[in-house]
Amino acid sequence: MKIIVDVMSGDNAPLEPIKGAVMAARSYSVEIVMVGDEKVIVETCNSNDITLPSNISIAHSEGVVTMEDEPLSVVREKSASSMGTALKMLAEGKGDALVSAGNTGALHAGSTLLVRRIKGIKRSAISTILPFETPTMLIDSGANTEVTKEQLEQFALMGSIYMKKLFNIERPRVGLANIGTEPTKGTKSLVEAYQYLSNSQLINFIGNVEGKQLPFGVCDVIVCDGFTGNTILKVSEGIAMYIMKRIKGVMMSNPLTKISALTMKKQLYSLKESFSASEYGGAPMLGISKPVIKAHGSSDAEEIKNSVRQAIAFLNTNLIVDISNSISSSVNESGAEK
Amino acid sequence: MKIIVDVMSGDNAPLEPIKGAVMAARSYSVEIVMVGDEKVIVETCNSNDITLPSNISIAHSEGVVTMEDEPLSVVREKSASSMGTALKMLAEGKGDALVSAGNTGALHAGSTLLVRRIKGIKRSAISTILPFETPTMLIDSGANTEVTKEQLEQFALMGSIYMKKLFNIERPRVGLANIGTEPTKGTKSLVEAYQYLSNSQLINFIGNVEGKQLPFGVCDVIVCDGFTGNTILKVSEGIAMYIMKRIKGVMMSNPLTKISALTMKKQLYSLKESFSASEYGGAPMLGISKPVIKAHGSSDAEEIKNSVRQAIAFLNTNLIVDISNSISSSVNESGAEK
C-alpha cells in the first residue's frame, strides 16, 4: 500500500506535512511518497534534523496551487505543481491514496478530472465529519452549489457507506438539511427531494433536520447541496469561535475568575480543539474512484499523520468497491441508470 | 399611539403576554389593546392579581393560531383568532402597530394579505437582529425561500434604513451571505446578485460575507434569501446551545471546577441570555405598511414589553415613511419600477 502526500500545500507547508508524512511512515507499515520540490524537501529535512525512514520517498514537482488559485489551475497552468503531480500519480497507479492540505476546490476539480469518478456516480462530493454530540457527516460540504434529488440520493448513499464502514454504524440515519422538519418545508426542489429520498430503498432516510437539531446527534449523515453544506460548516465554525472568545472574556473579567479559569484550562483547551474540523481527520472526496483526503488547510504534522491513517482505513475497508457495487445494483434495480 | 398586543399566541400565553402588555402600559405613555379571549384574559388577570391600568383595553377574539397551523390559516379558518383579529384591527387603523409571539409564517402571511406591503415593495421580509459582536440584521431570515436580485436590493435597503434609524449607524454596511468572499462564489443567482448589489446606488454594499466572519461585526446588514437566512439563524442557535452545554459539562466535571464555576455563574448566565434571539427585541416584518413585530415564541413578560418598546421606536422614527420614500425615489430614478 502506497500513500501519496502533497507536502507543499497548506498553511504550514512544507515543514508540517513533511513531519506528518515521516511520522506516518514510522507509525504505519505502508509506503509514503512525498510530492514536492525535491530541493526544498531535502533542505527542510536537513535544517530540521529529519532523517527519512526507508519506506518514504520523494517525487519531484514544481510550484504550488495556492488558496487564491482557480480550481482548474491544477489541470492547467499549475499541472506540474505538487497537487497536480500527486493527482496524476494517483491516477496512474503510482500510489493508492492521496492526502493534501491544499485548495479544496482545486483538489476536488483535479480529482474529478484526473482520477475520475466511480462509474455511475454523477457528482463527487466533499464530505466533512462534524465533531458534534455524535460524529455527523455533512455531505456535500462545498463542491456542488446546485444539485438534483438523484445526486442527493447518491451523496446520502456514499455518506452512509462511509459512516457504516469507518464508524461502525449499522444503518446510518440520513437527514435532509432544511429549515423545518415538515415535508413541505424549504424550496421547491427540497420538497421534491424529501419525497424522492423517502422512497429510496438505498438509504435510511429519517426526514428533514434543521440547524437547531444538527449538533445533537439526530442523524449520522446530513445530506444537502454544497452551498447549504458550506454555509452550515462555516456558520458553525464562526459561532464556535465567537462563543469561545466570549467565554474567554468572562474568564478574564476579574482576578477571581482568572484563578478559577486555571482549574479548567486544560479541559477548555481540549473542548476548543474538539470543535476543530480535523477532530476526525480530513475530508474525504466521496465519489472519486480512489481515496483522496483533504486535510485541513491549517494542518500540523499530527493532522497530516491522522489523514494518512484515514486514507489507510479508507483502503482497508474497501469503501470504493462498496460504493461502486451499491451504485451498480441501484442501476440494475431501476432497470436504467438513475 | 395605540399598540395592539396578541396575548393568546406564544409558548407562555396568555399569562406572560398579558403581564408584558400591562408592564408596557405602565412604562410607556401609549394605549395598549390586548387581543384575546376576553373571559380568559379577565380570569388570568384575576387569578394573578393583575389590575389593568386605564390605558389598556381588551378586544375579544376566538381561537389561537398554533405553531402547527399552516400560515394561511390566519386568513381562513382561524381568521377570528387573536392573531387574525389583531391583524384586521391593524389593517383597519384600530391600532398603529402590532406585537405577537405567535407562528412566524402565519404572522408574515397575514401581514402581507391583510395589512399589505408598502407600495413598490415586491416582497416583505422577516428580519432578525443577531446579538453578535455588533448588532447585525439578518434579512430575510425566513419568509421567502427563493428571491430575485431586485428583491435582495429592497431587503438590503429596508434593513439599512432600520439599522440607521434604530441603531444610529450612519451608512450601514451590507454584506451578501455567501460561501466565499470572491465575487464569483456561490450559485449563479448569487454571482448575479453580487454584481447587481455592487452597482446599487441605494445601499452601502461591501461584498460577500461568509459564515466564519458573520459574528465578528464585519457588516451591519446581512442580506440573503429566506432559506439561507433561516439556515444561518437556526445553525447559530444550535451551535450556541451545543457549546454552552459542553461548557457546562467542563464546569461540572469535578469538585474544583464546580466551585470555580460559581465565581462566574452570573456572567455565564448573562452570556447565555445575550445569545438569545430576543436580545434586541422581536423580529420586525419589514416591507409591511404598518409595524408588525414578531416577538420570540418563548417570550416572557419582559420580552413582550421590549417588543412594545420596539414598536413605539418603529413608529417614532417614521421608518415606514422613509422606506416608502426610498422605494419611490428609486423607482423614479430608474424611470420605471425595478
Q: Do A177 and B146 touch (CB under 8 A)?
A: no
Considering the domain boundaries, does residue A236 fall inside one?
yes
Of residues B325, B322, B279, the one with CA closest to residue B299 = B279
CB of B167 less than 8 A from some CB of A: no
Cell numbers found for residue A72: 482548474
Q: Between these two residues, B100 and A273, which has the higher pLDDT value? A: B100
Best of A210, A231, A270 to disrupt the B interface (most B CBs within 10 Å) is A231
pLDDT for position B331: 65
Tens-place pLDDT, residues A131-171: 899 999 999 999 999 999 999 999 999 999 999 999 999 99
**Chain B residues touching A251 at Cβ < 8 A:** 264
Tens-place pLDDT, residues A310-323: 999 999 999 999 99
Rounded to a whole number, what is the distance in Å from the CA of A58 to chain B's nearest CA? 34
Global pTM reads 0.92
Residues 121-160 of B with CB under 8 A from A: 132-133, 142, 145-146
Considering the domain boundaries, does residue A68 fall inside one?
yes
| Number of domains chain A is built from | 2
Tens-place pLDDT, residues A287-314: 999 999 999 888 999 999 999 999 999 9
Query: How many A×B Cβ pairs under 8 Å?
Result: 151
pLDDT for position A336: 46
Q: Do B211 and A132 touch (CB under 8 A)?
A: no
pLDDT for position B58: 98
Q: Are residues B184 and B268 in the same domain?
A: yes
DSSP H/E element including A32: strand A31-36
User: How far apart (Å, rounded) are the C-alpha atoms in residues B209 and B185?
Assistant: 11
Cell numbers found for residue B242: 451545543
% of chain A with per-residue pLDDT over 70: 96
Asked whether the CA dihedral B261, B263, B268, B270 is positive or negative, the reply is positive
pLDDT for position A271: 81
Q: Are residues A182 and A106 in the same domain?
A: no
Residue type, A130: L
Q: Pairing between strand A292-294 and A125-130?
A: unpaired
pLDDT at A331 over 70: no
Q: Please list, in sequence order, all residues whose beta carbon lies within 8 angstroms of the beta carbon of residue A47, skipping any fewer than 6 positions away.
A: none
Rounded to a whole number, what is the distance in Å from the CA of B213 to chain A's nearest CA? 6
Q: What does the mean pLDDT of chain A come to?
A: 93
**Chain B residues touching A146 at Cβ < 8 A:** 187-188
Q: Are residues B144 and B269 in the same domain?
A: yes
Q: Are residues A297 and A220 in the same domain?
A: no
Question: For A304, what's the count of Cα atoms within 13 Å in the CB-facing half-sphere?
Answer: 34
User: How far apart (Å, rounded) are the C-alpha atoms in residues B102 and B296?
Assistant: 8
Considering the domain boundaries, does residue A304 fall inside one?
yes
Rounded to a whole number, what is the distance in Å from the CA of B308 to chain A's nearest CA? 27
List, as own/partner pairs, every contact residues B237-241 make where C-beta atoms lie below 8 angstroms and the sequence separation is at least 24, other chains included. B237/A211, B237/A212, B237/B277, B238/A210, B238/A211, B238/A212, B238/A213, B238/A214, B238/A215, B238/A216, B239/A215, B239/A235, B239/A236, B239/A239, B239/A240, B239/A243, B240/A239, B240/A243, B240/B275, B241/A212, B241/A215
Residues 265-324 of A with CB under 8 A from B: 267-268, 271, 275
% of chain A with per-residue pLDDT over 90: 80
Of residues B334, B42, B16, the one with CA closest to residue B201 = B334
Which domain covers residue B265, as residue numbers?
122-281
Q: Are residues B62 and B1 in the same domain?
A: yes
Q: Are residues B98 and B165 in the same domain?
A: no
pLDDT for position A279: 65
CB of B211 less than 8 A from some CB of A: yes
**Chain A residues touching B275 at Cβ < 8 A:** 243
B285 DSSP β-pair partners: B126
Identity of the residue in B236, B263, B271 whose CB atom sits nearest the CB atom of A235: B236
Q: Are residues A108 and A22 in the same domain?
A: yes
- What is the CA angle A252-A253-A259, rounded to 5? 55
CB A224 within 8 Å of CB B223: no
pLDDT for position B239: 92
CB of A261 less than 8 A from some CB of B: yes
Q: Do A212 and B237 touch (CB under 8 A)?
A: yes
pLDDT for position B335: 46
Q: Are residues A308 and A272 in the same domain?
A: no
Rounded to a whole number, what is the distance in Å from the CA of B228 to chain A's nearest CA? 7
Considering the domain boundaries, does residue A254 fall inside one?
yes
Q: Are residues A105 and A24 in the same domain?
A: yes
Q: In this prediction, does ipTM exceed 0.85? A: yes
DSSP H/E element including B159: helix B149-167
Identity of the residue in B142, B212, B244 whose CB atom sits nearest the CB atom of A234: B212
DSSP conformational letter for A178: -
Considering the domain boundaries, does residue B142 fall inside one?
yes
Q: Are residues B92 and B41 in the same domain?
A: yes
Identity of the residue in B228, B235, B251 whose CB atom sits nearest the CB atom of A264: B251
Q: Are residues B66 and B186 in the same domain?
A: no
Q: Are residues B245 and B301 in the same domain?
A: no
User: How far apart (Å, rounded) are the C-alpha atoms in residues B183 and B175?
Assistant: 12
Residues 94-123 of A with CB under 8 A from B: none
Cell numbers found for residue B141: 431570515
CATH code for the domain in which residue A151 is found: 3.40.718.10
Name the 3-class secondary structure at B145: coil
pLDDT at A257 over 90: no
Identity of the residue in B146, B226, B264 whose CB atom sits nearest the CB atom of A260: B264
Name the 3-class secondary structure at A232: helix
CB A137 within 8 Å of CB A157: no
pLDDT at A337 over 50: no
Average pLDDT of adjacent 10-residue blocks, chain B of 338 residues: 97 97 97 98 97 97 94 96 98 98 95 96 95 94 94 97 95 97 92 97 96 95 97 93 88 86 83 71 93 93 94 94 90 51
CB of B252 less than 8 A from some CB of A: no
Considering the domain boundaries, does residue A36 fall inside one?
yes
Q: Do A268 and B250 touch (CB under 8 A)?
A: yes
pLDDT for position A333: 56
Of residues B108, B164, B100, the one with CA closest to residue B137 = B164
Considering the domain boundaries, does residue A324 fall inside one?
no
Considering the domain boundaries, does residue B324 fall inside one?
no
Q: Between these two residues, B95 and A267, which has the higher pLDDT value? A: B95
